Structure 1
Amino acid sequence: MNHKKPVYKLKMAQNVFNTNASQAFPNRHDAVNWVNKVLEANFSKIEELCTGAAFCQLMDMIFPGCLPLKRVTFDAKNEQQYLNNFRILQNSFRKKEIQKESICVIPVERVAKGYFQDNFEMVQWFKRFFDTNYEAHEYNPVAARGGGRKTKQEPGKPGRVALVGQKQMNTSADVKMATTLISETAEMKARAKVLDRERDFYFSKLKKLEQICMEHEHDGKKEDLINKIFEVLYATEVRNLKKKIQKF
C-alpha cells in the first residue's frame, strides 16, 4: 500500500515597512546587541553586518529551511562574497512572497559596501520583520552555522596578552574609541539629514498654505478664516501660537 507524503502549505511572510515613526532601535548599540543576542554572535558595530550572513541566518531562524544556509559564506572577506550572500537572502524573500516595496527601499549594494546608515536601516527593518513573523521554536544558531565562521570572535591564544606592550594596548583602545566616535558622528549626521528632510517637507506645506491664503485674502466670507490662518502662520512664539490656535 503506497503512502503519500503529506504536503504542508508553506507559511508566507507578513510584510512590514520602514517608516521614520516606527524605528525598532533608538541607537546602533541596541541594534548590534539584539543581533548578538538572537544569533549568539559577537558583532562590535553595525557596519560588520554588511556581509549579509547575519541577515541570512535571521531569515533561516524565522522560516527554517527557506534558504540554503550551508551556501552562506560566514567568513566572507570581500564585496563579491557579500553580494552572493545577499542574492541567497533575496531568493528567500521571493520564496516567502515578501513585497518589493517592503524592502527594496534599502539598497543592497550600499549595505554590502558597509555604509552605516544603510546597514542600520536594514537591521531596523529586520527587527520589525522578525517581531511580526517569528514563532518561537528550538533553534541553535551556532550549530546552524555549522563549519562556517562562528560570528563570535575566537579567544586569543594563551600568553598573547603578556606579549603585547602597554603602549600597544593603549593604542588599540584609542583606535577603538576613535572608531566609536566616527560611527556615532555618522549616525548623528544621518539623523540630521532625516530631520532636514522633514523640516523642508512641512515648510513647503506652510508655504503652499500661505500662497492659498494670499490668493483668497479678500474673498468676503472667507476673509475671517484667512486672517486667523495668517495669525497662526506668523505667530513668533510658541505661547502666542497656542493662543492663536485656540481661537479656531
Structure 2
Amino acid sequence: MRLPGPIDLCYSVDIAFCSVQLTNDMGRTAVNVHATSVNTTNISRQDLVDWINTTLNLSYSKVENLCTGAAYCQLMDMMFGPGVVPIKRVKFDAKHEHEFIENFKHLQQAFLSTKCDKVIPVDRLIKGRFQDNFEFGQWFKKFFDANFDGRDYDAAARRAGKKVMAHTNPTNSKVAGASATPSTTTSPSKRKPAAASAGAASASASGSAAARSRVSGPSTTAAAARDTGSSAANSQAVKEKQLQVDQLSTEVEELRLTVEGLEKERDFYFGKLRDIEIICQEVPEDQRGSTIERVFEVLYALEEGFEAPVEDPEEAY
C-alpha cells in the first residue's frame, strides 16, 4: 500500500474545494455575455487598468499585468460570493507561468460552477502579450457589468494580507538620478575673473617652467620618459582587466539565459505531469487497469539519492 504523498494531499484539497464550490453555487447562474468589437463599445486600455485598480484596490500599471489571472479570480469572488473561487489559494504575487496557470484553473472552475460558457485562452494570456490580455479584459468588464449586483466588497480584506505583485515605475529612478546630479553651471560674470587669474597664473607658471628647463633640461626629459613608460604599462594592464571583465560578464549572461530556459522547460513538463496525475486519479480504483497503475508507479518513483524539496508552508494555502 502506497502512502499518500504531498501531491496526493494537494489534489485531495482540490477535490474538496470543488465540492464546496458546487454546493455554494447551486442555483446561481452567470449571465453570459457574447460581445464583439463590431457591435459593442469597448473601453480603453487605461480605463481598463483604472477599473481593475479601483475595484480591487490594486496597483497594476498596464494591461499585461492581467496575465497572472489573479484579478479575474477575485472579481469572480466579488460577483458570486465566497466558495466560487478558493481565494486563499490564488497567487496574487505570481511571477511564473506555472503560477499563472494555477490561477486560471481556479477561474475556469469558477466559470464551470456558474455555467459561464466563455472559453479562456490560457495559453495566450499567460504569455503576457498586450492584445490577448486587452481583448479578454474588455470582455470580462462586460461580463462583470452584467453580473455584479452592487454588494459591498472589501477587496483588500478579502485577500487577507496576501502579497500583491509589486509594480515599479522606471521613470521615477531616472528622475531621481537626474535630480541627484549636482549642478556645476556658473554665471558668466563669475567665470571672467577666474579666466583672467588663470591666464596670469599660466603665464607665471610657463615662465618658471622655462627657467627650470634651462637649468635641468636632461633630468627633466628622463623623468618625462619614465612617466610615459609607466602610464603606457598601466593603460595596457587596465585594458587586459577590462577584457577579462567583459568575457566574464558574457559568460554570466549566457548562464543566466540557460538557467531561465531550463526553468521554463521544467515548469512546462511539470504542469503536464500534474494534469496526467489528475486524469488518472479521477478514474475509480476498481476501474483502473494495469496501464494506469503503471503510470502511478512512474509518477511516484524516486531515484537513489533524490531528496524532495522542502515546501514553503504558505504555499499550501
Contact in 2 for aligned 1:24/1:124 (Cα 8 Å): no
Cα distance, 1:10 vs structure 2: 3.0
Aligned partner letter, 2:163: R
Partner of 2:45: 28
Structure 1 residues 92-171: aligned runs within 5 Å:
92-99=110-117, 103-104=118-119, 107-150=121-164, 164-166=176-178
Supply the distance in 2 between the matched residues of 1:34 and 1:47 (Cα, whole angstroms).
14
Identity %: 43
- Given candidates 78, 95, 110, the residue that maps to 2:96 is 78
The answer on whether the counterparts of 2:49 and 2:63 sit within 8 Å (CA) in structure 1 is: yes
- Structure-1 separation of matches of 2:91 and 2:164: 11
Paired AA for residue 41 in structure 1: L
Deviation of 1:25 after TM superposition, in Å, equals: 3.3
1-side partners of 2:126 and 2:79: how far apart? 22
Mapped contact 1:18–1:125 kept (Cα < 8 A) = yes
2:34 to 17, 21, 30: 17
Distance 2:92 2:108 in 1: 17
2:146 counterpart SS class:
helix
Higher percent of residues as helix: 2
Which of the numbers 68, 81, 103 marks the counterpart of 1:64?
A: 81
- In structure 1, what residue type is equivalent to 2:72? F
Q: Gapped runs of 5+ residues in structure 2?
A: 1-23, 182-317
1:107 alignment partner AA: P
1:139–1:151 distance in 2 versus 1, CA, 3 Å: farther
Instruction: Determine if contact 2:25/2:114 at 8 Å carries over to the other structure.
Output: no
CA change 1:14–1:80 in 2 (3 A) is: same
Per-residue CA deviations over 1:88-120 (Å, capped at 9, x if unaligned) read 000000000111xxx22x521111110111100
Residue by residue over 1:51-108, the C-alpha shift from the partner in whole angstroms, topping out at 9 and shown as x without a partner, is 0000101111001121110010011010000000000000000000111xxx22x521
> Is there any run of 5+ residues in structure 1 with no aligned partner, and where?
1-6, 155-159, 170-248
Indicate the residue corresponding to 1:89 in structure 2. Answer: 107
Cα deviation, 1:105-154, whole Å, max 9, x if unaligned, reads x5211111101111001111111111101001121001111131245769
> 2:25·2:113 contact (CA, 8 Å) conserved in 1?
no
**Partner SS, residue 85 of structure 1:** helix
Q: Distance in 2 between matches of 1:22 and 1:49?
A: 24
Q: Matched residue of 1:165: which SS?
A: helix
What amino acid does structure 2 have at the position aligned with 1:88?
H
Q: CA RMSD in A?
A: 2.9
Give the Cα separation in 1 of the matches to 2:28 and 2:55: 22
Instruction: Name 2:64's counterpart in structure 1.
Output: 47
Report the count of equivalent residues: 154
Which whole-Å CA distance do the structure 2 matches of 1:22 and 1:8 have between them? Answer: 31
TM-score by length of 2: 0.44
3-state SS of 1:30 partner: helix
| Secondary structure in 2 matching 1:44 | coil
Alpha-carbon separation, structure 2, partners of 1:112 and 1:168: 39
1:211-234 C-alpha deviation (Å, 9 max, x unpaired)? xxxxxxxxxxxxxxxxxxxxxxxx
Which consecutive aligned stretches of 4+ in structure 1 deviate over 4 angstroms post-superposition?
A: 151-154
CA contact under 8 A between 1:40 and 1:152: conserved in structure 2?
A: no
Q: TM-score, normalised by structure 1?
A: 0.56
Task: Please identify the structure whose Cα radius of gyration is greater.
Answer: 2
Q: Secondary structure at the match of 2:137?
A: helix
Structure 1 residue aligned with 2:283: none
